[in-house]
Structure 1
Amino acid sequence: PDPSRAGQSWRRGQAAQAPPRPVPREFGAGSHVDRLWLRAAALRPGCPLVCVSSADGGVGRSTLTVALGGVLALAVPVPVVAVDATHRAWGGLEHRVVRSSPATLWDAVLAGDTLGDASVVERLAQVGPTGLRVLVGESKWTAQRRPPTWSELFGVVGHLRDAYALALLDLPPADTASAWRALGWATVPMFVARASVESLQHTMRLLTQLRAVGLTEVVQESVLAVMATSHSTAREVRAVEQMARQSVGHLVRVPYDPVLARPDPVDLRSLSKLTRSALVEVAAAVIDRCPVDL
């Protein structure tokens, strides 16, 4: 089934609309921040789906997913969920959130239709410092446990969209038809690249391929997060970045931050002011692409 059409019965009579939450002092003030918090409080029921992918591995995709989800969990009054959809038994979201239970995405597969009850998901999800719910990937390959198939994954996502206001999927690199299909279903397709000439060129080749298979709208509506790997950015990188900016819907460079560079759980309060500002811009670009009822 098309997961973009799932979850339309989400909290009927209990829409995500609520008075906007106060903006934490770490995020400052101003029209940019206020607009994000206002629109986040007015999300239309139906649980927009944010799919995060890349042209390469090792670009900081899982890091960006958790950091972005952390900001959105602060701004959206109703809980937000992130799902490890990488189909790997290592890495992913597992290392970016503090584990409070051994539960994984495989347990969500086994839970089946009961996932429509948010209390069931709450028992399976890890919870980040800002309230982001995270279903981490399955790290054990046994006769009883394994990473889910694409069909099982989207069955889980369909049920989650009945219980949550917004869902983020940490996808694998977009080098398979299944990953492309997920990006086509997304309310907000996102890509992550390193701030290097090679990574940005690979991303632009991926965007060209997506257009060639009829996914032009995915490219035009996409948000591209460029993860800096040092405090300075070479002129050649900025030139390629400018070319990429003309291809996607919105591009944000996330500055180098030693906290994000470490393979540890992400706490937004420990990030620099510039990094938090960039993440707010990414979150605003995401919410601007989600249906709202202001």
Structure 2
Amino acid sequence: MSARGPGWTSDPVAEDRSGGDMVPPAPAVLLGRRALGRQPVATQPVVAPAAWALVPTPSHVLPPRAVPAELRGESSVDGLWLRAASLRPGGALVCVSSADGGVGRSTLVAALGSLLALACPQPLIAVDMTGRPWGGLAHRVRRRSPGTVWDAARHGGGLTDRGQVQRWTQLGPTGLEVLTGEPEMTSARRPPLYSEVAVLVAALRRLYPVVLVDLSPADQRSTWTALAWAAAPVLVARAGVDSLQHTMRLVARMRAVGLADVVERCVVVVMETSPSPPRQVRAAQIQAAQAVGDLVPVPYDGALARPEPVDVRSLRRVTRGALMRVAVAVLNRCPADPHLVATTQPETTGRDEGTS
């Protein structure tokens, strides 16, 4: 174990894989106890402050037939938008991992971020924390600057406003800001260490109401640590019996080492890879749903299968409805400001059309 601090190693690739008890310590550098309400907050009504105009619900993006049955009705969908408007910097840390690689983890981060960016009045950010010099979020946004997560991580805790961060972010079609992975491995540039990105994430949480983190697969101690301290830990599985079984083994392992509370908060998202998954996959999903807090299948969508920027508005209706369900599950786990009691009227500008 490195001297960098509890829970961190000096090399994200050379993590502890000994198979021993992996009870992750709480790294103060990532987020503090008081800053993060770790229990679901869905029971408390939330109203956006008068100083913030609500982003209008995009009915052309989420028409009634695209909204899951349990979310139909004006109050339910608008409730999601209100909760998004109530988020404040310091609370909503969403960490996305998986039991295996190649399951669509970065795709989900980009798609979920694309939807939440429509609802949140303030900008939100996604961070590539995988430590890989290839793939990941870089394929899911259009490049507007040469910056990467390496540039932001070098400044780490010295970041004090969003303008500094935006020098290095890429921009998604609906306004999601993204710090993509560093592709170079030279003496001048390299993928930052996990501990370096942890300091960066702590700084970003002070500036953004939602920070989505694309983590490595959960076979590393550092990934377990991040999942344990996320307001909304998310595990992504491929719609196959083997991937679902591996995910359930991971869930069982987490319970065995004392992380049952993380499992209860966990959202499992199953990415379907064909229009008609086999019957045995459906059966495995039903069984898996009994072991976690929420399980949401995301149907196959050709737009998600291509390594291109993700715009939730261009997805199939059924896909948009599934992502809405994921967003509800995630935001219900994120602490909102309980003291916001002023009312407001939705603004009539074209924010729901997204940004370019």
TM range (shorter): over 0.9
* Alignment pair present for 1:237 and 2:281: yes
Counterpart secondary structure, 2:326: helix
Counterpart secondary structure, 1:98: coil
Counterpart secondary structure, 2:82: helix
Q: In the TM superposition, what whole-angstrom CA distance separates every residue of 1:63-107 from its partner, at most 9, and x where no partner exists? A: 000000111111111111000011100011001111111100000
Counterpart secondary structure, 1:253: strand
Highest RCO, 1 vs 2 (Cα 8 Å, sep ≥ 6): 2
Contact 2:173 2:309 in 1 (8 A): no
Report what 2:61 is aligned to: 26
Worse-superposed segment, 197-206 or 16-25:
16-25
Report what 2:216 is aligned to: 172
Report what 2:348 is aligned to: none
Q: Which runs of 5+ in 2 are unaligned?
A: 1-27, 36-47, 65-72, 341-356
Give matches, 1:64-213, under 5 Å.
64-213=108-257
Contact 1:7 1:46 in 2 (8 A): no
Counterpart secondary structure, 1:51: strand
Distance change (3 Å), C-alpha of 1:263 and 1:45: closer
1:268 aligns with one of 309, 312, 315: 312
TM-score by length of 1: 0.94
Contact 2:156 2:196 in 1 (8 A): no
> 1: distance between equivalents of 2:291 and 2:116?
25
CA RMSD between the two structures: 1.7
Contact 2:132 2:182 in 1 (8 A): yes
Residue identity over aligned pairs, in percent, reads 56
Counterpart secondary structure, 1:134: strand
Contact 1:188 1:222 in 2 (8 A): yes
Q: Which runs of 5+ in 1 are unaligned?
A: 9-15
> 1: distance between equivalents of 2:91 and 2:185?
31
Runs of 4+ displaced beyond 6 Å? none
Counterpart secondary structure, 2:134: coil
Counterpart secondary structure, 1:94: helix
Worse-superposed segment, 174-183 or 105-114:
105-114
| Alpha-carbon shift at residue 26 of structure 1 (Å) | 1.1
| Alpha-carbon shift at residue 44 of structure 1 (Å) | 4.2
Contact 2:123 2:177 in 1 (8 A): yes
TM-score by length of 2: 0.78
Give matches, 1:217-256, under 5 Å.
217-256=261-300
> 2: distance between equivalents of 1:231 and 1:85?
31
